[in-house]
Amino acid sequence: MFRNILVPVDITPKNRRALEVARDLAIASGGSITLLHVIETLDLPFEELKAFYDRLQERATRDMEELSGPLREADVSFQGHVLYGERDRKIVEFATREGADLIVLDSHRVEPGRPGRGIATLSYRVAILAPCPVLLVKGAPEPRKEEAQ
């Protein structure tokens, strides 16, 4: 069903849960995974910050290699890409151009009494603009204040 799964990552531990879900879907459907990291650019001439962006790309490539360990262990076909620009726009453009069947990305939980806080998030914007289904993977709920004490 889902043969071309796109997983946007920001190289933080919160991406692991989305990657696990994508891995399981790829195994079940015989699909492959594309990891995509988008480096936000500043509103300055790119060449002036080229060395800075090169360091960010090297780190992103290294971190994606580490993040993809569970994919290699499960023998899931994958590739990684690093792009520059506005994250939501680049993710949607990439998904469209590469024919993604599904986008899997992490999302935070929205509090029932405050749903408006989730509207400006990357996951919301990608879910609204994407050319394909989007699976938002939410992490474990935060402990309630009275439970944490």
With a cut of 90, say whether residue 117 has pLDDT above it: no
Closest by Cα among 17, 33, 16, 21 to 76: 33
Q: Which two tokens stand for residue 110?
A: 């929205």
Q: Partners of 34 in the beta sheet?
A: 6, 79
In Å, what is the CA distance from 40 to each residue of 37, 53, 68, 90, 114?
10, 9, 22, 10, 28
Closest by Cα among 110, 146, 103, 145 to 126: 103
CATH of 4-148, one of 3.40.50.880, 3.40.50.620, 3.40.50.300, 3.40.50.1980: 3.40.50.620
The tens digit of pLDDT for each residue in 42-72 reads 988 888 999 999 999 999 999 999 989 999 9
Q: Tell me the domain boundaries of the chain.
A: 4-148
Write down the pTM of the prediction.
0.86
Place of tokens 């990684």: 80
With a cut of 80, say whether residue 5 has pLDDT above it: yes
pLDDT tier, 24 (very low <50, low <70, confident <90, very high otherwise): very high
d(CA 138, CA 105): 9
